Amino acid sequence: MLRYATIGTSLIAEQFVTGANATGKLELGAVYSRRSDTGIAFAQKFGCNKVYTSIETLAQDDTIDAVYVASPNVFHAEQSEFLLNAGKHILCEKPITTSAAEYVRLKNLADSKGLVYMEAIIPIYNTSRPRIKDAIGQIGNICMAKIDYCQRSSRYDRFMNGEHVNIFDMSLHAGTLMDLGVYCVYAAVDLFGMPKSIKASANFLKNGADGSGVAIFEYDNFSASLTYSKTGQSVAPTEIVGDSGSVIMETAVYYQDAYLIKDGQKTPLFYNLSKETLMGYEGSAFYDYINGKRQDEYEKNSDITLNVHKCMDEIKRCANIVYK
């Protein structure tokens, strides 16, 4: 059993702990929060009795083998580096860092200490992933791809009414590319590899946050358009079109609700699983990597993470996305 701590007490941390508990491989051993009251409330939900408000004290806890980092984006690299230096394995919510160079530096640090440093990104660990890739292999030469994740934020109205909202705070390295666009980039890089070139643009909100964006990934014989927004809701599916068929994913960011359309037939590939179950797959992989299993997979997925963040860097450059 892997004993781990969480940094952060948000809904996503709660969903991860629920999924991790279900694997039977991970046990919540401690909770870190800047506020003791929120830390205690979170820990009590899961029968955990150890709460820290000091990351230094957490780092000194020899009963904790690993840490799941779900703090605001701007703290991911700093906290991960500190805990890697303390000998903790790290599973960090996306985006694991805010630049490819930063990822390389921390991955090298982890490797030098024999530690696992992994980005928590649902589709890479979804059991539907091999089926999606197999189906793409059945549709002939790819002609085009449309990858979409436009989900109007439940906090958008509050932001427009003048409230401070973390997900639109660029000083926290937030914004739509980091929150939703990263899933589109992962899908493109995972399914098609690195593009030959990237073009990108963004629409900005009054405080300079990117509210929506578009990126065009150019490959040898086709283009992939990536669309993402936190200010409007899309009902369009993701579609990969080949000259012999197509693959549709209603929930592309998680590789779910997927169909192969070929020869007039619509064949289901995978239906929805709960987010907690999907996050449990991440936790299970994390456990296996730490225990020396699936090492080739770990390195391959680490390479995908690096390439995703190279693409993210280029999108930010093209779209003039700047963090304060």
Q: Identify the CATH class of 124-278+307-319.
A: alpha beta
Instruction: Compute the average pLDDT of residues 246-259.
Output: 88
**Does residue 271 have a pLDDT over 80?**
no
Give 64-85 pLDDT, tens digit per residue.
999 999 999 999 999 999 999 9
Give 30-62 pLDDT, tens digit per residue.
999 999 999 999 999 999 999 999 999 999 999
Cβ-based neighbours of 43, under 8 Å, separated by 6 or more: 28, 30, 31, 49, 50, 51
User: In which residue are the tokens 């630049």 written?
Assistant: 99
- Which DSSP category does 208 fall into? S
Decide if 227 contacts 252 (C-beta within 8 A): no
- Dihedral angle sign, alpha carbons of residues 53, 55, 60, 63: positive
Whether 124-278+307-319 and 2-120 are alike in CATH topology: the answer is no
In order of 183, 215, 286, 309, 320, the CA distances from 199 in angstroms are 17, 6, 34, 15, 12
Binning pLDDT at 50, 70 and 90, where does residue 300 land?
A: very high
Supply the pTM of this predicted model.
0.96
CA angle 194, 197, 203 (to 5 degrees): 105
**Does residue 251 have a pLDDT over 90?**
no
Q: How far apart are CA 173 and CA 158, in angstroms?
A: 19
User: Does the structural domain 2-120 have CATH classification 1.10.10.60?
Assistant: no
**Does residue 252 have a pLDDT over 90?**
no
Give 166-191 pLDDT, tens digit per residue.
999 999 999 999 999 999 999 999 99
How is the chain split into domains, by residue range?
2-120, 124-278+307-319
In order of 33, 38, 48, 68, 249, the CA distances from 42 in angstroms are 9, 6, 9, 14, 34
DSSP-derived 3-state class of residue 50: coil
Greatest Cα-to-Cα distance within the chain, rounded to the nearest angstrom: 61
